[in-house]
Homo-oligomer: A and B are copies of this chain.
Amino acid sequence: MPIKLTIADDHVMVINGLKMMLEKQENISIISTNINGNELLKALETEQPDVLLLDIQMPGMTGLELSPIITKTYPAIKIITLTNFEESHYIKQMIRNGVSGYLLKNTNQETLIQAIETVYNGGQFIDPQMQKVLLEESLLGKKVSAYEIPLTNREKEILKLIAEEKSNQQIADELFISLRTVETHRLNLSQKLNIKNTAGLVKEAIKRGLIQ
């Protein structure tokens, strides 16, 4: 019986690339492809794959939000995260979320198949390129990248609203809190993330998938 695979990625061409890479692989069968989180969740209700290839950046619900839901509801599904190199900082967070594999989008056919087979057999697979980076980081005792700095829910909420072009006053009105509180949160955000102005906060929000 072949490994049942589901793919979720908002870029149809990426789905095509994956499909074509796997179509000659007789031990892997793609049972569903989805271009956003809601579609994916609906598809999972009908049939569960053995392995799920999940893009981190998707419109609406991102892989970051989806993975804990999926691992909770369908603990048998092994998740492999698909990501660009630039988004590779999510890796620790995703591993905490219970994903089994972490694959870069510039992967080749061989690595892809190896990853699917490894996680299907209960193993963990990290893209070799990422392994190298992580190893260096740990050996050199490097500073944890800024992206791992945890934010509280409230902070994330406020960061999101900042990136949505709201002023502090508008955020205060929307959350029914005082302007001063928003300012405090904002200051905390800047200090935690070592960011000095709005521009940096917006880019951080985008990196964290809070908007877009």
Counting chain B CB atoms within 10 Å of each CB, the highest count among A11, A167, A195 belongs to: A11
| Chain B contacts for A172, CB-based, 8 A | none
Confirm or deny: A154 has a beta carbon within 8 angstroms of a beta carbon on chain B. Answer: no
Task: Flag if B105 contacts A195 (CB, 8 Å).
Answer: no
Task: Flag if B202 contacts A199 (CB, 8 Å).
Answer: yes
Task: Flag if A106 contacts B12 (CB, 8 Å).
Answer: yes
Closest to A201 in B: B199
Task: Flag if B199 contacts A197 (CB, 8 Å).
Answer: no
Report, as a range, how many residues of chain A touch the other chain: 20 to 34
Q: Which of these, B13, B105, B203, contacts A202 with CB under 8 Å?
A: B203
Task: Flag if B164 contacts A199 (CB, 8 Å).
Answer: yes
Task: Flag if A12 contacts B197 (CB, 8 Å).
Answer: no
Q: Which of these, B11, B196, B203, contacts A14 with CB under 8 Å?
A: B11
Q: Which of these, B86, B105, B106, B195, contacts A165 with CB under 8 Å?
A: B195
Q: Which of these, B35, B106, B200, contacts A11 with CB under 8 Å?
A: B106
Q: Which of these, B13, B20, B21, B107, contacts A106 with CB under 8 Å?
A: B13
Known pairs A17-B18, A163-B203, A206-B206; list 16 more (Cβ under 8 Å).
A11-B11, A11-B106, A12-B106, A14-B17, A16-B17, A16-B20, A16-B21, A17-B20, A20-B20, A165-B195, A165-B197, A165-B200, A165-B203, A198-B199, A202-B202, A203-B206
